[in-house]
Structure formats: structure tokens, C-alpha cells
Amino acid sequence: MKKKPVFLSVLLGISTLGLLSNIYGFIQRPNVIKTWTEFRNDETIVQQLGGVETINLQIATFEWAGSPLALAMTAVVTVLFGLSAFFLFFKKDVVKSTYTYLAMRLAVFISGVVSIMVSNQMARSFLKNKDQLVGVLNANKFFAIFTVVIFLLLSTIAYFGLRRYQKALEAEDFDGEVL
């Protein structure tokens, strides 16, 4: 009886949630940009959100999410996710599936780092208020740390899950041999 790669199914399930969230965000992006643009016309909202600079920064951030670079990164992640699922569920090749999953995690990590770098540059361009700028840069530092931790956690689970899976298969093959 072959051992089932439950670890990889769970990791792909978690990744499915992230991917669906990303796709939903992309679909809703025009509506969000429209709403933020309308915020500029209401002085009360402008004051509550920290000024026109903050609103312009948010609009620029959502516009960047639709840039060719952002779309290309999302496409790479989606293709790698699809390949990992294909290898796991159709080809039943856990090794290839795990390696494509790890490649997908690396692509997500790189995408996150690029997003943080772009966000920092946009914040420096749009925000003249030092307190707001420091707040955005600190939030981006927190997001960077969170991105690294999630990358390491999920990659470690995948790597050690694969090693454990391979050892279980070796032990299963060894138990079935006649000496």
C-alpha cells in the first residue's frame, strides 16, 4: 500500500486559497480604484484617510497590481501551481509535484519582495508627511518579515514532508523484499 502525500495536498489547498484571493483581488481592482478615486472628492474621507497623498498612494498601488510585471509574476505562480497539482493528482509524481510547489513558493516570495520594493518607492514618491512615510515603511518591514517566515515555513514543510514520504516508501519497499 502506497503512502499518500497528505502534506502536499494540504499545502496545495492552502495555496489554492491564496491564489483565489489574488485572482479575486485582480477582478475587483477596477472597482477598488474607482472607489478610492471617489474618496478624493469627499473632504471628510480625505481627512480620515490621512490626506490626498495617502489616497493617491493607494490608487497607485492598485494600479501597479495591474502592471505587466505584476501580471507576469501572477501568471508564473499560477502556472507553477497548476503544474504542481497536475504532477500530484494526475501523474502521481510526488517528487516533481513537491519541486514545482517549491518553485511556486520561491516565485511567490520573489513577487512579495518586488511588491515591497515597489511599495517603498511609491511611498517615498507620494508621501511628504514623514510620519505617514515611516508608518508605511514600517508596515512594509513587517510584511517583509511575514513573507520570509511564511516562505520558510511552507518550504520547510514541503521539503521535510517529501523526505519523510520518500523514507516511508523506502521502508515499505524494504519490508516487502524477500532476503
Query: Could you tell me the pLDDT band of residue 165, with boundaries at 50, 70 and 90?
Result: very high
150 has pLDDT over 80 = yes
Q: Tell me what pLDDT residue 175 has.
A: 62
Q: Tell me what pLDDT residue 170 has.
A: 86
Q: With contact defined as beta carbons under 8 Å apart, do 97 and 8 qualify?
A: yes
- Over residues 79-100, the pLDDT tens digits come to 999 999 999 999 999 999 999 9
Mean predicted lDDT score pLDDT of the chain: 92
Q: Tell me what pLDDT residue 139 has.
A: 95
pTM: 0.88
169 has pLDDT over 90 = no
